């Protein structure tokens, strides 16, 4: 059976999204950026981006979270000294 959705983003970006993905992220992205849930699911599961701006929104969401977590880790590290 042929796969309907073919990846249209780079393999590296898709792998990064898979590493960063957590349960509930699709809903959080939907609320923050006001995209429909189905295109977000397609992008996160298959790497198939259909809407303009969706790729940037997902990448920004994961980048922002990584930065916040890094800042929190650095603050905890400083407190532990």
In tens, the pLDDT along 20-60 reads 999 999 999 999 999 999 999 999 999 999 999 999 999 99
**What separation in angstroms does the CA of 55 have from each of 40, 70, 73, 75, 78?**
9, 23, 27, 30, 35
Q: What is the pLDDT of residue 1?
A: 44
Please provide the distance, in angstroms rounded to a whole number, between the alpha carbons at the two ends of the chain: 58
Q: Which residue has the higher pLDDT, 79 or 10?
A: 10
Q: What is the pLDDT of residue 3?
A: 56
Q: What is the pLDDT of residue 65?
A: 96
Is the CA virtual torsion 54, 55, 60, 66 positive or negative? positive
């Amino acid at each position: 059976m042929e796969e309907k959705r073919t990846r249209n983003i780079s393999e590296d970006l898709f792998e990064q999204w898979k590493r960063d993905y957590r349960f509930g992220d699709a809903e959080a992205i939907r609320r923050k950026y006001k995209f429909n849930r189905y295109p977000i699911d397609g992008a996160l599961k298959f790497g198939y981006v259909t809407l303009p701006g969706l790729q940037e929104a997902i990448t920004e969401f994961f980048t922002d979270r990584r930065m916040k977590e890094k800042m929190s880790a650095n603050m905890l590290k400083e407190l532990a000294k």
